[in-house]
Structure 1
């Protein structure tokens, strides 16, 4: 699965890890030692995140049902809670710095290519 910004055509991540079960969303990136560039994790359903038990910063995209970016947070540090944004139905976590590098802005739309499992 590939994460693409449909608004500007930029590939955000070549590998998207789905986290669609309760336990996969709960674990997320906890206890991992790194988050390589080119990877993303898609949490659905999900309205907000936390970075407890993580060792590195991440960028976070908050999406609505149409995969439009409602909000984006850069460099969320370990041990923090993400913000709540009205209308969020899923969240994508990406390595820190990718929002700036790929020119992500609220209002843009993303697509997960070859998404086989989508929670409605």
Structure 2
């Protein structure tokens, strides 16, 4: 899948993987060594994340049911618990630095394409 920021026409991830089952949501990026540039993980349903058993930082987008960004965590550190965002219905985890590099902001509209 591909993740596009419709507000500024930036591609956020050209290789977006799905974590829609309980098992995939539970483990997410745990025990991985890195997240390659251009890749990401879409976790649905999800309103909060943790980074236990991770050794690298990530950027996190909290997305509403309408695909609007409702919250952002840049450089979310390992071994942390994130805030719960009630407006979010899903989360996208991206390589650290992606948000800044693509000028992505709260309120931007996203599109996920197969």
TM-score by length of 1: 0.93
Q: Secondary structure at the match of 1:53?
A: coil
Backbone CA RMSD of aligned residues:
0.6
Aligned residues: 114
> What does 1:55-74 align with in structure 2 at a 5 Å threshold?
55-74=55-74
Deviation track 1:65-96 (CA, whole Å, cap 9, x = no partner) reads 01100011100100001112221110000000
- Is 1:19 equivalent to 2:22 in the alignment? no
- Deviation beyond 3 Å, 4+ runs, structure 1: none
TM-score by length of 2: 0.98
Gaps of at least 5 residues in structure 2 are none
**Corresponding residue number in structure 2 for 1:54:** 54
- Tell me the CA shift for residue 103 of structure 1: 0.4
Unaligned runs of 5+ in 1: 115-120
Superposition pairs of residues 26-105 of structure 1, within 5 angstroms:
26-105=26-105
CA offsets per residue over residues 19-72 of structure 1, 9 Å max, x none? 000000001000001111100100000010000000100000000101100011
